[in-house]
Structure 1
Amino acid sequence: MSNCEEYPSAVVANNGSNNMSHDEETNVDNWESEKLSQIPFKVLRGHRDGVNSCTFCANGTHILTASDDGTAKLFKSHGVKLVTNFAAHSSPVTKITVTKNSQNFVTCSWDKTVKFWDLEMGKVLWSGNHNGIVMSQDISFDGKMVVSCSDFDNTIKIWDASNGNLIHELIDHHAQTPTCCTFSPNSQRIATTGMDRATKVWDLVSKKVTAALGDHENIISTCCFSNNERYLCTGAWDKTLRVFDISTGMYRSEGSIKLERGHAGCVSACEFSSDSQLLVSSGYDKNVVIWDANNFTKKLSMKGHGGWITDISISPDKHWVLSASKDKTVRMWNIENYKQIPMVIESQRAMGLKITECVECGHSFSIGQLEDDAEFSKCVFCRLANPERNDLPSVM
């Protein structure tokens, strides 16, 4: 028997009221906007309780969500149509992740289980058990492993994704409840955060902790790697994010980069864009913040949720940001043209910066107002990839 129900009709956005009938919902425009808002967005509705997790899948064409109502849902991005409802768990679902090929997804829950699903069939392929609430989980980039963490014995478990067999178990990996676990892009390291204010990087080859990071002044709630594997970002209840240059090891001598004044409440989630150019964070202050990952300056804040924001996700093309909230909704923000917003332009000017475009890769990057666009025609990544003398700016 399948663990899913098919929904033939759309669950789409409304004009701001949460009390519309189904017939009214299906006859309104999918686009919504707050007064004076310059970022268009869509709203996904359908969960009966707070939404804890969200992620893009199928190259950004679909969205997976997970909720306190015990369900996971699959939406189409275009038209925000509800496709499938998965009766996932008997308790709140804390996290949902998807494989890179979007054939499988994983859920975890307060019911102490981790479940590995076939997305198309809507069936659970295997289920793993913890002794306590499963706080978080992730799938390795190569799709071969699943990592999960629980609160009872502060345990990290690593599972074989093909059959659910337990590969490694790290008991008391943190001194207090672990809050997040995630794989590095090369699938060789696992970063975990905890209520003990510690971030640990565990190496799957040496089977040892290769980095123990601190710097936060309160519980660390989330972490993420940049796709180029240079940075590890952490977010905490102290309202800040910390960025560690783990590729060069510069954090050992110079410490982490502190990102503050972005959130007025606990940071709940963070994620780098696929090209590692942007960093997006969310918090219990109901804000989504976009940061420039080249100089780690704040670019934009997006507000509108009526409850804590619990999770975020960035589409592969960087045109959309998802935010999940305790207000029972998921918002889909269109940030494709955010650089043209006057507030963003003015912010760049205030910092003495202007935006130019790399002639080689097409990515935008910041340079000083007085610097010559012709001299800085390529971004730093393209210059370093081809370090010919005429590619580098003169120091004379």
Structure 2
Amino acid sequence: MDRFVEDGSLDDSGESCLSQDDIDPRDTVDVSKGFTFAEVNTVRASTSKVVCCHFSSDGKLLASAGHDKKAVLWYTDTLTPKATLEGHASMITDVRFSPGMPLLATSSFDKTVRVWDADNPGHSLWTFMGHNAAVMSLDFHPNKDDLICSCDEDGEIRYWSINNGSCARVFKGGMYQMRFQPRVGRYLAAAAGNVISILDVETPACRQTLQGHTKPIHSVCWNSTGDLLASVSEDAVRVWTLGSGSEGECVHELSCNGNKFYSCVFHPTYPSLLAIGCYQSLELWNMSENQMMSLPAHDGIIAALAVSNVTGLVASASHDKSVKLWK
């Protein structure tokens, strides 16, 4: 729950430990020599903590939301607001754009999921009710426009049909955050406690569980090809392979001996780089070379990161009430 409700203290930047894998050298970047990554825009996004953000598939819009119960749509090129989405009765925990349609979905402590028309966001198209606890996360299937998934803090996962506004399936296994594998959408990664379940979307059997974190997992993210999954707990980042070959193997690990970790996203241009949101700082971790670069970024926890593979932008959302763009 730290990502939503708590701020840590500023400590020394985390130390890295092991990292081993063969990565195409064209993908690697030396974060200590000539590589640049800088803030390009910032906006005070809320009157209270911002805990989630996401880019539209064309990269033209950014959505942010959090404790003030509202979601805001921003034009990415100017960071000026397009619309404010109101309707939830409690804080918003997650916000996601549909990959294929102009739709946006939000999850909330009010136990509901709302689906909005990003082009006409005056009111929600659907309000999905059925969860008996705070809804912690949600995601759209990458190529089944009708399918949306959500999970609550009791560990219940629900599949919803946007076409008919009903719950299509209920099962257990996800509590904190869930993300569909991009492109093919064969797997759903769902974090509960210190374990990640990799669920087969069709069956929906649990294909495997990824174990190794000692503390609760705050965040999970896939790389753009869907063959690597990164997971973040406050004291560690682990990267797992889920493509061909050694599935479910941890291929990179970063341990934190100081500043806590809260969020992560794969860099849109350099696949060997992982951006990690910490308390006040943004860490860039070159997994292949095990190099770190630390950037002062916010005045609070960086609760969420998002990436646009179209524009190459990275967005950070923070408890300091601001959203920033980086490139």
Q: Give the TM-score band, short-chain normalised.
A: 0.7 to 0.9
Rounded Cα–Cα distance in structure 2 between residues aligned with 1:212 and 1:282: 23
Matches within 5 A, 1:316-331: 316-317=309-310, 319-331=312-324
Q: In the alignment, is the contact (CA less than 8 A) between 1:244 and 1:256 conserved in 2?
A: yes
Greater RCO between the two (CA within 8 Å, min separation 6)? 2
Q: What is residue 115 of structure 2 aligned with on the other side?
A: 116
Structure 1 residue 220, shift from structure 2 partner = 1.2
Rounded Cα–Cα distance in structure 2 between residues aligned with 1:98 and 1:258: 29
Rounded Cα–Cα distance in structure 1 between residues aligned with 2:108 and 2:257: 27
Q: Say which is worse superposed, 273-282 or 113-122, in terms of deviation.
A: 273-282
Rounded Cα–Cα distance in structure 1 between residues aligned with 2:270 and 2:222: 9
Rounded Cα–Cα distance in structure 2 between residues aligned with 1:319 and 1:233: 19
2:303 is aligned with 1:310: yes
Q: Which structure's residues are more often helix, by fraction?
A: 1
Q: In the alignment, is the contact (CA less than 8 A) between 2:277 and 2:305 conserved in 1?
A: no
Q: What is residue 247 of structure 1 aligned with on the other side?
A: 243
Structure 1 residue 270, shift from structure 2 partner = 2.0
Q: In the alignment, is the contact (CA less than 8 A) between 1:89 and 1:109 conserved in 2?
A: yes
Q: What is residue 41 of structure 2 aligned with on the other side?
A: 42
Q: In the alignment, is the contact (CA less than 8 A) between 1:220 and 1:235 conserved in 2?
A: yes
Q: In the alignment, is the contact (CA less than 8 A) between 1:267 and 1:281 conserved in 2?
A: no
Q: What is residue 148 of structure 2 aligned with on the other side?
A: 146
Instruction: Report the CA distance shift for 1:41/1:264 in structure 2 as closer, same or farther (over 3 A).
Output: farther
Matches within 5 A, 1:46-57: 46-57=45-56
| RMSD over equivalenced CA pairs, Å | 2.3
Instruction: Look up the SS of the partner of 2:298 in the other structure.
Output: coil
Report % sequence identity. 23
Q: Select the structure of larger CA radius of gyration.
A: 1
Structure 1 residue 86, shift from structure 2 partner = 1.1
Matches within 5 A, 1:1-396: 39-57=38-56, 59-101=58-100, 103-122=102-121, 123-129=123-129, 130-142=131-143, 143-151=145-153, 153-171=154-172, 173=173, 178-185=175-182, 186-195=184-193, 197-238=194-235, 240-250=236-246, 255-260=249-254, 264-273=258-267, 277-292=271-286, 295=288, 297-298=290-291, 300-317=293-310, 319-333=312-326, 335=327
Deviations 1:316-364 (A, max 9, x none): 246321100000000111x2xxxxxxxxxxxxxxxxxxxxxxxxxxxxx
Q: Which structure's residues are more often strand, by fraction?
A: 2
Structure 1 residue 58, shift from structure 2 partner = 5.3
TM-score by length of 1: 0.67
Structure 1 residue 261, shift from structure 2 partner = 5.3
Q: What is residue 30 of structure 1 aligned with on the other side?
A: none
Rounded Cα–Cα distance in structure 2 between residues aligned with 1:97 and 1:106: 5
Q: Which runs of 5+ in 2 are unaligned?
A: 1-35
